């Protein structure tokens, strides 16, 4: 696979005040589900030390179609409904194209 087919994103989510831990827990449950989705190379939930109500997700997919298929499923099926209920606003996205590095070592392509 050409690495230019890979897609990635950094997703910043802000929880309702005092709900950062709950948001992280809900996202970890989503991550468990995403691990079984075809084309999911990484779905990492990250805490923000100086912002307790902010959680970042780092996603990496083998291609756009895999990402779209996994994320367009029913939100209840993937657990995203629980996440959305904890947010103050829609998530912020930064789209990236994974090119290489230790996190990609041993992955297809």
2 closest CA partner among 64, 58, 52, 47: 64
In this structure, how many other beta carbons lie within 10 angstroms of the beta carbon of residue 73? 12
| CATH number for the segment(s) 3-99 | 3.30.70.100
Residue 11 backbone dihedrals phi, psi, to 5 degrees: -120, 120
CB 98 within 8 A of CB 3: yes
Q: What is Dmax (Cα atoms) for the chain?
A: 43
- The structure's pTM equals 0.85
Q: What single-letter DSSP state applies at residue 91? A: P
Q: Return per-residue pLDDT of the chain as tens, 109 residues.
A: 456 689 999 999 999 999 999 999 999 999 998 888 999 999 999 999 999 999 999 999 999 999 999 888 765 566 788 899 999 999 999 999 988 888 765 455 4
């Amino acid at each position: 696979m050409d690495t230019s087919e890979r897609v990635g994103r950094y997703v910043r989510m802000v929880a309702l005040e005092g709900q950062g831990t709950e948001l992280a827990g809900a996202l970890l449950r989503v991550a468990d589900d995403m691990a079984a989705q075809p084309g999911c190379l990484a779905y990492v939930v990250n805490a923000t030390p100086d912002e307790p109500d902010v959680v970042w997700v780092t996603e990496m997919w083998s291609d756009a179609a895999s990402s779209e298929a996994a994320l367009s499923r029913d939100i209840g099926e993937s657990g995203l409904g629980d996440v959305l209920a904890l947010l103050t606003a829609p998530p912020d996205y930064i789209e990236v194209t994974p090119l290489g590095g230790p996190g990609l070592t041993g992955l297809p392509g």
